[in-house]
Amino acid sequence: MYKQNLHLGKKGEDIAAGFLTQSGYKILARNYKSKLGEVDIVALDKDTVCFIEVKTRRTDRYGLPAEAVSSTKQRQISKTALVFLKENSLLEKKARFDVVSVICAPESSQCDLLKNAFDLDAKFSY
């Protein structure tokens, strides 16, 4: 079961990256990792650096994939985003957090983009 979930997650990230590219985003990094965590996709949307969490499900039977981005995950993404911005001298750039929900059914896939899905955790600074 675990391998199936990894495969589904990878497929969802590939679908999301294609969707974002078609939507005008420029992908800067995929699966960016720091000691504080991981961000699925880092991309530019015009002049804004976007930190994008991808959530993939086979169906929406138990809710939308984006609903699975917990407050704990949001804090981890926020911290990792600050590391990315600092490492790449981008602290002066506008940034936001997006979520892409992917429903990956056998016959088709559906992507939904939620821009500004959450705010930077105000309790953390770099």
pLDDT tens digit sequence for 78-93: 999 999 999 999 999 9
Helix (H) or strand (E) holding 8: helix 2-22
Give the CA count within 13 Å in the CB-facing half-sphere of 11: 17
From the list 93, 82, 79, 81, the residue with the least C-alpha distance to 48 is 93
- Model pTM score: 0.89
CATH topology of domain 2-115: Trna Endonuclease; Chain: A, domain 1 (3.40.1350)
Band (101; pLDDT cuts 50, 70, 90)? very high
Tokens 């809710």 found at: 63
Instruction: Read off the pLDDT of residues 26-71 as tens digits, 9 standing for 90 and up.
Output: 999 999 999 999 999 999 999 999 999 999 988 777 777 888 898 8
**The pLDDT of residue 105:** 77
| Contacts by 19-25, CB closer than 8 A, 24 or more apart | 19/100, 19/111, 19/113, 20/52, 20/100, 20/113, 23/113, 25/50
pLDDT score recorded for residue 2: 66
